[in-house]
Amino acid sequence: MFISPMLVKEVISPPEDYANVITELKLDGIRLIYSNLNGEIRLYTKNKQDVTRLFPEILDIQLPKGVVLDGELIATDRESKPDYQLLMNRVKSEKLLTDVAIQYVAFDILYYKGKRVTQLPLLKRKSLLDQTIPTDNITIVTSQWVEGNSQMYFDIVKDYGLEGIIVKKPMSKYQSGLRSSDWIKVINYKYIKEKITSNKGFDYWLLNQEKSQAFFLVNVQAVKNRKILYEKYRQFLKSKKCNSSI
């Protein structure tokens, strides 16, 4: 079952209301809907393209039936570094290149135990998501998030040359197919400029081999970089607390 994903509005800077938001790293990959309502797993891009056959590793992970997830698919090389061209080679190859490591990072749950839960507050959905995703594998994981402090987070993102952040209202409902100010993104355009420069001349568009039409645009972000980012963020907050007590 395909559900149109909720869209985000772009703003030029993080919100000033730091206390009443949650902040996540913006992952530069494929927006992917994971659907398993009746025991048959299907994977869809945000434009409803069925790409299930491209990622069999995800199908091997045992998740409860009756769930639909929203998340981002990323790819990494053997050193956990982003490799855009490697992912392109995998998707466009006539043979399935399963030696290219992929990871599905789920950040929301739309169906739980066969019931639609989009009307629940985001934090409640996050709790249900944690109950759904196992912790003993790295193929499907949940997105890490922090409360507030989106400006600090964004500063760290820029320091590490990452794409940006997503800021969400903790009580927001999931509005399928709509663009809402409840979810906003802040882009690090220095990262975008460097990405375009480094990939100049490379074929960004993927062609659907069955219908011969462009269907999604992909880039990737390493798991290793995210771990470094979260640790740097914790250190930054700790130092701020120490400085404020002096």
Q: Is the pLDDT of residue 135 over 60?
A: yes
Rounded average pLDDT over 64-76? 91
Sole residue written with tokens 């009443």: 20
| pLDDT reported for residue 80 | 59
| pTM > 0.85: yes or no | no
Show the CA angle centred on residue 76, arms to residues 72 and 79, nearest 5°: 150
Mean pLDDT of 101-130: 96
Given 9, 26, 81, 224, the catalytic residue: 26
DSSP state of 46: T
User: What domains can you pick out in the chain, each with its CATH number?
Assistant: 27-151+196-244 (3.30.470.30)
Reported as a single tens digit per residue, the pLDDT across 145-161 is 988 888 989 998 888 87
Q: Which of 95-109, 126-140, 197-211 has the lowest mean pLDDT?
A: 197-211
The pLDDT, as a whole number, for residue 235 is 60
Residue-level pLDDT at 220: 32
65 part of the active site: no
- Which is higher by pLDDT, 9 or 98? 9
CA distances from residue 36 to 1, 6, 64, 107, 184 in whole angstroms, order as listed: 8, 19, 8, 16, 28
